[in-house]
Structure 1
Amino acid sequence: MKKEYLILIALILILGAYLLFHKENKDNYILPEIVKIDVSKITGLVIDKKEGQIEFTKKEEGWILTDKEYPADSPSVENMLDTLKILKLSALVSQKGDLKRYELDDENHIKVKAMNGQEAIFEFTMGKTAPTFNHTFVMLTNDKNIYHANGSFRSYFDKTVEDFKNKKE
């Protein structure tokens, strides 16, 4: 009888140690670090989507839409700049390149480029908002992986030229 108790106690200790030290949900990847973007150094924004490209340029009096030099809607531009300032990746979503599923394909994606003069400071491609509405699917330039970025910000960039115009001036 004592031998059976010792075996039972040994099994309980072994299984307890396994459960204590075995972490099934640990991440086996490292997220790329996005360098903090100093939005005061951004002099231009380029939004490229299927419908065409929209360019913004910073002038002394504010932001303008560069194709016809219309004054841009300041809150819209500030929302985009704030998004760039706080952009942070939270999870790796896919390494398989299934772009259509995340609306990162040519039909649906939005490419965003922040410029300082003629130099691109930061570029990324955004897809749809995640079903949780707390994340947006993104791809970084020269990276085939798809990530979750914190926040639901696609609506700030997914507008027409008319939507970006300042209608008060």
Structure 2
Amino acid sequence: MGIDIGTSACKTALFAKDGKVKASSSRDYPVYYPKPGWAEQNPDEWWEAVCDSIKKVLASGGVRPAQIAGIGIDGQSWAAIAVDKDGEVLANTPIWMDTRAQSVCDRVNREIGADEIFGLCGNMLRPSVCPYSGRDQMLHQYPGSGVRLYGISGAGVRGIVR
């Protein structure tokens, strides 16, 4: 089974042993633009879409969960999701299209040097890959609240920051 949690939808496909697609499903979710340069999504809507598309693929493919040999999951990019102590989502999360951290990226690129940064990590520093965009903006939305952020990526939990 392959699950792609993309920018516009969650797409799920079920494959037979020979590699042919047995069943597929897609469920859309919106991108929210609350301010100029901001692009956010609701992580709960991601989860609902994942669960719904898996159920549809299993039903239409005539497969029981125990028959799944492996699962591959892909996502649109990094995401910093603000959660409370019980793991409940507190706010929408900025996505790769969000440019609210442009001024931070510009400053760091000037101070350290864009070529130096690229040489160290193989990426240019831009808002779409700048953790400040999510982490610090979320902390600013909940000042003094003790909110903890769990950085989630396709590779799993990256860590916890206060």
| TM-score normalised by the chain length of structure 2 | 0.24
Which has the larger share of helix?
Answer: 2
Structure whose CA Rg is larger: 1
| TM-score normalised by the chain length of structure 1 | 0.23
